[in-house]
A = this chain, B = another copy of it.
């Protein structure tokens, strides 16, 4: 069960997006400013937990996510549905549809979209 703290998520999320980065590169991608030192601490934690792999290139390490976003997503998703919809996916979806004010056409379109592209997740670099 892949569970991340806020800081961990900030970091690994970038790796999901970008693929393979050094601590310094991650620093550049971060929305919020964090010292390089701190980033490396977080990277070490993620490494220890087995969520990352890394390899040395030149004098720097490049880090890469080993844990896939799906796994973390499922955990976070379950938590959300459990907490706010008593575990009912239906209630959750109904709520979202209403919240986003989706028409029938838009809905069916989303469905087709999902079918066409069965990997709509954090990455898409072919």
Contact = CB atoms under 8 A, between A and B. Distances in A.
| Copies of this polypeptide in the complex | 2
- State the majority secondary structure of interface residues on A: helix
A76 B86 CA distance: 15
Contact of A94 (B17, B69, B77, B114): B114
A55 interface: no
Contact count band on A:
35 or more
A95 B122 contact: no
A121 B85 contact: yes
A98 B122 contact: no
Interface of A: 9, 13, 17, 69, 72-73, 76-77, 79-80, 83-86, 89-91, 93-98, 100, 102, 104, 107-108, 110-111, 113-115, 117-118, 120-122
